[in-house]
A and B are shown apart, each in its own frame.
Chain A
Amino acid sequence: MINLIVILTSAIMFALLLVWWRWPVFRGWIEAPKYSMLLQERRFDDQKTELELPTNSTSDKW
């Protein structure tokens, strides 16, 4: 049991580090969401009026 956990965890960590080291483009891809999240915040900030939009604009397909 202990061996299984140690091997699996180590394998996941080494795989991630390998990808990080071997493919620089991966770094860009994996870091991108932290910027897109902020961009999205800016979009919501910019659209002042939508902060209190009538909620009936939501799709009600359910």
Chain B
Amino acid sequence: MTTLAQNLSSRNNQANTRDLAALPSVEYDLVRAHVLASLVTLVISVVFGITVATKFSFPEFLGSHAWLTWGRLRYNHTEGIFFGWLGNAFLAFFYYAVPRLANRPVLSRKLGWFLFWIWNFAVVLSGWTLVLAGFSQPLEWAEFPLVVAAFVVLAFVLMVFEFVLPFLRARLSDLYVSGWYIIGGIVFTMLAYPVGNVVPNLVPGARGAAFSGLWIHDAVGLFVTPFALAIAYYVIPATTRRPIYSHFLSMVGFWLLFFMYPLNGTHHYVYSAIPMSAQKGAIVASAYLGMDVILVVTNLLLSLRGNSDTASKDIPLRFVWFGVVAYLVVSLQGSVQALMPVNRFIHFTDWVIGHSHLAMIGFASFIALGGIAHMWQRIAGTSYNARMMNWSFWLLAIGLTLMVADLTIAGLVEAQVWQSSAPWIDSVRAVGSYWLVRTLSGLPILAGFVLFWTGLVTGPRSETVTSAVRPVASEDVAAFDNDSVAAPGSSWTGWLSHSHVVAFGAGVGFFALSFLVLAIIPGRELEDEIKRVAPVTMATLTASEQRGRVIYGREGCAYCHTEQVRSLAADVQRFGAPTEPWETKYDYPQLWGTRRIGPDLSREFNLHTPDWQLTHLFNPRLVVRDSVMPPYPWLFDGGPNKPTQEGLDVLAYLQSLGRARQLSGFDGQRLASSIQPATSEMPMANEPSGRATPPAVPVPMIGGFSFTAPVLHPAADLANLQEETSRGGTLFARNCASCHGSGGSGDGRASASLLPKPANLTAARFTDERLSSVLWNGVAGSAMPPWRQLPAEDLRALVAYVESLHVPHGAPSTQEAASLGLGKALFAATCASCHGESGAGNGPAAGALAPPPTNFHLKKPTQERAWDVLENGVPGTAMPPWRNELSADQRHALVEFVRSLYAPPPENDGQ
């Protein structure tokens, strides 16, 4: 009892002493300036976001200007939210709260304005401008170029002086939890930011990705989260005028958060080439983080106990309450989606985009808006328009709920399609309507933000604080006087009086720990592995390929196409062998990506011809009707067959992806030296009914020629054949008409820039074997890709439809038959070296030709087509024109002879 009395006396004396001292000044001008800057940049960033979302539904929208392309706007959307909106909102809060928490003013007003100008003009405005002009980094949350990153680091150094120094000078023995979060967040972000921005430019590929993973998570976990929680922990007691439920729990939450968040980084690369020990460590840390968040949120919600009326009526508190609940939901969601069984399914899908919007809007933005409204009401001369604020809240809540629900479902749909062997474009088609809803859900969100802004500037003007603010009454802090409090300076709490130093040290220490555990140790393992297994013949990129890589990063390609095949059956059967660390050893910076709107590109070598790639870059919808990829006309001089040097550079880079793997013989060596792996994860399915050809062992790429191609015979009975043909027509229009034309005449939109031209399917009769082989293997040396990922019944329907395009002619006339002898002799003399003695396309020269010579046993051209080929040759192939070498009669004889070689299957059994 004596001790308690002494403590109470000491505490009361301390409080009285404080009352006598002058209050620290608060830089309200800087609060106002940062609030207004935050809202201006917020609205601009949301407009960037809605434009980006619109392009999913209307890919040509604003598509002809490089500076308005999807990738650049996407970079500016997230960076604007991060630096412009949240950065300014947090800075406004610091100017308001630090003098109150530290009982000292911030270091300097001039420094504050200098920081304001750096943050908004050297970072946000310059960053946006440079990104639009094509100067950026393809690194998540680090898209602004390095010159801007330097100013960001400078700004954080200045923040240490401006905001951390007052805490250090105050020598507070009882630092409130918001102060801990402010100090920890500033220090940690100052240290972590260069890790995500600079290190991946110095450390390549998988090793660099380990560092990128750290920053991807730290950006949210150690910049956004601490400052948002600092606001929540401040606004709740300041509004309810009651202390938070437990400061002890708040400190447990603080330490666990700063310990666990940095260790989460690698959960963005589960099933990747990063050592599994680091991946599993990150997953465990993610689970722990979920528990920590439960503790933090429980403490915050218990702090609102008995104040449900206040929480419903006080608009800033309502914003904060919503943010706290969203924090719980998004964090538990994050913990669950880091688990391998969930991650393998939903990673790379729109589920993750929904998750990030819930975090950045539902959690961080709602709390930041609540903090701004709280401050605004307490600054003399400013107050908000409550009606508009109320509308703003509900518009934001409804828009966000719709957006997150929509994206979550879209993610599940994408995941389901990706688990099947359906063509990639089917996943794009499947979520098209969800993308439209997502865009529309952005409109109430934009309206909510605009109303919030309007509510701030149109509120009633008053020279005093608004009467709605209830001052702290003596009875509200009565509990303080009745609590047992340790006297400052008592023996065991002596070291605790330097808690701010502990916080500073903790930030540095945990940063170093995460660096060591998730980046340096795995990096060394990767380095050793690369040295051990990398083929000695692995070549670096050429100058053109390297330039193409820079353009690829500049245009944001890595934000839709990954360059990492995960060690999952679904990934391997779709894209090929899992990415090995050594394959990335020259990738500065890594371009692994964390999102797939388009397919993975790491096995692109030999997958598409140059003319297909260029046509696709010029306008993706010329070759893939339902693609949502942006066009890149600025890489061309007016047409797909007129690429600029930049276009050729991108082409060169794309064609280098996976080249080292294929040319090195790595997989052959591994096959020869290793035991066949278990096939339960990746079952082989070569039978015709198989929906795909998942490899039993990793192979470099899909699409290579397969001798096991099934022969797909259309149905034998007329009713089924008609049904198959009809379905085949639908499939043809969806997948083939872009090149072959809607009627199959080879005159599709893409045909103008493809060489050789897409086949005129009406000008020849094909056997089932020929069509099956082409659909299964594609046509080497042409833009025709393999379509074996389609279900067998779809392939069969396509065979039926293509065969229906050919109109049979009558039997050859007597005269035509008479010329067969001449034709045979001419064929043996002029054609057999390529087409083979029997016309089976297997002449001595055939092996070196791509596309291969026609096998006339499987394809019967019409007379017109055969004549045209002999007259003009086939551009883009080895077939020359013969009009100058052979007379008209000779050519007629050849036409009849090659048509006579056709040998349709003896029976059509419908198998």
Residues of A whose CB lies within 8 Å of any CB of B are: 1-2, 4-6, 8-9, 12-13, 16, 20, 23-48, 50-53, 55-62
Contact flag A31-B247 (CB < 8 Å), given A36-B176, A43-B23: yes
Query: Does B333 count as interface, using CB distance less than 8 angstroms?
Result: no
Contact flag A34-B280 (CB < 8 Å), given A1-B517, A55-B29: no
The CA of A62 and the CA of B108, in the complex, are separated in Å by: 6
Query: Does B284 count as interface, using CB distance less than 8 angstroms?
Result: yes
> Which of A9, A35, A51, A59 interacts with B380 by CB under 8 Å?
A51
* Closest A residue by C-beta to B485: A28
Contact A30 B251 (CB under 8 A): yes
Besides A52-B463, A62-B107, 7 more A-B contacts (Cβ < 8 Å) are A2-B281, A30-B251, A32-B480, A32-B485, A36-B480, A52-B28, A59-B107
Q: List 14 A-B contacts (CB under 8 A).
A: A1-B280, A16-B248, A20-B248, A29-B496, A30-B248, A33-B175, A34-B237, A35-B243, A36-B480, A37-B238, A38-B241, A40-B100, A52-B28, A62-B108
* Closest A residue by C-beta to B103: A40
Contact B496 A34 (CB under 8 A): no
Contacts of B483 in A (CB 8 A): 28, 31-32, 35
> Which of B3, B19, B106, B248 interacts with A58 by CB under 8 Å?
B106
* Closest B residue by C-beta to A12: B255
Query: Does B297 count as interface, using CB distance less than 8 angstroms?
Result: no
Contacts of A36 in B (CB 8 A): 15, 174, 176, 480
Q: Encode B23-44 as 1/0 by CB contact (under 8 A) with A.
A: 1011111100000000000000
The CA of A52 and the CA of B894, in the complex, are separated in Å by: 98
In order of increasing CB-CB distance, the 5 nearest A-B pairs are A35-B480, A1-B281, A62-B108, A42-B472, A52-B380
The CA of A60 and the CA of B108, in the complex, are separated in Å by: 5
Contacts of A55 in B (CB 8 A): 25-30, 109
Query: Does B471 count as interface, using CB distance less than 8 angstroms?
Result: yes
Contact A16 B252 (CB under 8 A): yes
> Which of B18, B107, B246, B490 interacts with A39 by CB under 8 Å?
B18
Stretch at the interface among B256-264, B317-325, B449-457, B903-911: B256-264
What's the minimum C-beta distance from B597 to chain A, rounded to whole angstroms? Answer: 32
Q: Encode B158-178 as 1/0 by CB contact (under 8 A) with A.
A: 000100000000000011111
* Closest B residue by C-beta to A32: B174
Contacts of B177 in A (CB 8 A): 33-34
Contact A34 B278 (CB under 8 A): no
What's the minimum C-beta distance from B671 to chain A, rounded to whole angstroms? Answer: 31
Query: Does B61 count as interface, using CB distance less than 8 angstroms?
Result: no
What's the minimum C-beta distance from B280 to chain A, rounded to whole angstroms? Answer: 6
Most buried by B among A5, A25, A34: A34
Contacts of B476 in A (CB 8 A): 38
Contact flag A31-B281 (CB < 8 Å), given A9-B256, A40-B101, A55-B109: no
What's the minimum C-beta distance from A34 to chain B, rounded to whole angstroms? Answer: 4
What's the minimum C-beta distance from A9 to chain B, rounded to whole angstroms? Answer: 6
Contact flag A62-B110 (CB < 8 Å), given A12-B256, A47-B23, A51-B465: yes
The CA of A15 and the CA of B278, in the complex, are separated in Å by: 26
Query: Does B865 count as interface, using CB distance less than 8 angstroms?
Result: no
The CA of A12 and the CA of B506, in the complex, are separated in Å by: 13
What's the minimum C-beta distance from B239 to chain A, rounded to whole angstroms? Answer: 10
What's the minimum C-beta distance from B245 to chain A, rounded to whole angstroms? Answer: 9
Contact A58 B472 (CB under 8 A): no
Q: Encode B100-120 as 1/0 by CB contact (under 8 A) with A.
A: 110101111111000000000
Contact A58 B27 (CB under 8 A): yes
What's the minimum C-beta distance from A59 to chain B, rounded to whole angstroms? Answer: 6
Contact flag A51-B174 (CB < 8 Å), given A5-B284, A59-B105: no
> Which of A1, A8, A37 interacts with B277 by CB under 8 Å?
A1
The CA of A24 and the CA of B484, in the complex, are separated in Å by: 8
Contact B477 A42 (CB under 8 A): yes
Contact B263 A5 (CB under 8 A): yes
The CA of A21 and the CA of B517, in the complex, are separated in Å by: 32
Contacts of A45 in B (CB 8 A): 465, 469, 471-472
* Closest A residue by C-beta to B110: A60
Contacts of B18 in A (CB 8 A): 39-40, 43
Contacts of B243 in A (CB 8 A): 34-35, 37-38
* Closest B residue by C-beta to A10: B288
What's the minimum C-beta distance from B284 to chain A, rounded to whole angstroms? Answer: 5
What's the minimum C-beta distance from A60 to chain B, rounded to whole angstroms? Answer: 5
What's the minimum C-beta distance from B214 to chain A, rounded to whole angstroms? Answer: 15
> Which of A27, A47, A61 interacts with B484 by CB under 8 Å?
A27
Contacts of A30 in B (CB 8 A): 247-248, 251
The CA of A55 and the CA of B379, in the complex, are separated in Å by: 13
For window 280-330 of B, CB contacts with A under 8 Å fall at 280-281, 284-285, 288
Contact B100 A44 (CB under 8 A): yes
For window 642-701 of B, CB contacts with A under 8 Å fall at none
Query: Does B492 count as interface, using CB distance less than 8 angstroms?
Result: yes
* Closest B residue by C-beta to A2: B284
Contact A51 B379 (CB under 8 A): yes
* Closest B residue by C-beta to A31: B247
Query: Does B629 count as interface, using CB distance less than 8 angstroms?
Result: no
What's the minimum C-beta distance from B523 to chain A, rounded to whole angstroms? Answer: 14
Query: Does B486 count as interface, using CB distance less than 8 angstroms?
Result: yes
Query: Does B767 count as interface, using CB distance less than 8 angstroms?
Result: no
What's the minimum C-beta distance from A31 to chain B, rounded to whole angstroms? Answer: 5
Contact B108 A58 (CB under 8 A): yes
Contact B26 A53 (CB under 8 A): yes
The CA of A38 and the CA of B464, in the complex, are separated in Å by: 20
The CA of A24 and the CA of B162, in the complex, are separated in Å by: 36
What's the minimum C-beta distance from A62 to chain B, rounded to whole angstroms? Answer: 4
Query: Does B782 count as interface, using CB distance less than 8 angstroms?
Result: no
Contacts of B3 in A (CB 8 A): 25
What's the minimum C-beta distance from A28 to chain B, rounded to whole angstroms? Answer: 4
> Which of B237, B285, B288 interacts with A37 by CB under 8 Å?
B237
The CA of A57 and the CA of B176, in the complex, are separated in Å by: 25
Contact B256 A35 (CB under 8 A): no
The CA of A40 and the CA of B238, in the complex, are separated in Å by: 10
What's the minimum C-beta distance from A12 to chain B, rounded to whole angstroms? Answer: 6
What's the minimum C-beta distance from A3 to chain B, rounded to whole angstroms? Answer: 9
Contacts of B11 in A (CB 8 A): 32
Contact A2 B109 (CB under 8 A): no
Contacts of A51 in B (CB 8 A): 26, 28, 378-380, 464-465
Contact B247 A33 (CB under 8 A): yes
What's the minimum C-beta distance from B261 to chain A, rounded to whole angstroms? Answer: 12
Q: Encode B461-496 as 1/0 by CB contact (under 8 A) with A.
A: 001110001011000110110011110001011001
Contact B472 A28 (CB under 8 A): no
The CA of A25 and the CA of B484, in the complex, are separated in Å by: 7
Contact A48 B107 (CB under 8 A): no
The CA of A35 and the CA of B251, in the complex, are separated in Å by: 15
Contact A48 B465 (CB under 8 A): yes
Contact flag A60-B109 (CB < 8 Å), given A27-B484, A35-B483, A38-B237: yes
* Closest B residue by C-beta to A25: B486
Contact B25 A53 (CB under 8 A): yes
Contacts of B174 in A (CB 8 A): 29, 32-33, 36
The CA of A34 and the CA of B234, in the complex, are separated in Å by: 10
* Closest A residue by C-beta to B245: A34
Contact B477 A39 (CB under 8 A): yes
Contact A33 B176 (CB under 8 A): yes
The CA of A60 and the CA of B106, in the complex, are separated in Å by: 10
The CA of A45 and the CA of B250, in the complex, are separated in Å by: 25
What's the minimum C-beta distance from A56 to chain B, rounded to whole angstroms? Answer: 7
The CA of A30 and the CA of B255, in the complex, are separated in Å by: 14
* Closest A residue by C-beta to B162: A62
The CA of A2 and the CA of B278, in the complex, are separated in Å by: 9
Q: Encode B847-870 as 1/0 by CB contact (under 8 A) with A.
A: 000000000000000000000000
Contacts of A38 in B (CB 8 A): 237-238, 241-243, 472, 476-477, 480
Contacts of B100 in A (CB 8 A): 37, 40-41, 44
Contact flag A9-B471 (CB < 8 Å), given A43-B19, A48-B465, A59-B108: no
Contacts of A33 in B (CB 8 A): 174-177, 247
The CA of A39 and the CA of B775, in the complex, are separated in Å by: 77
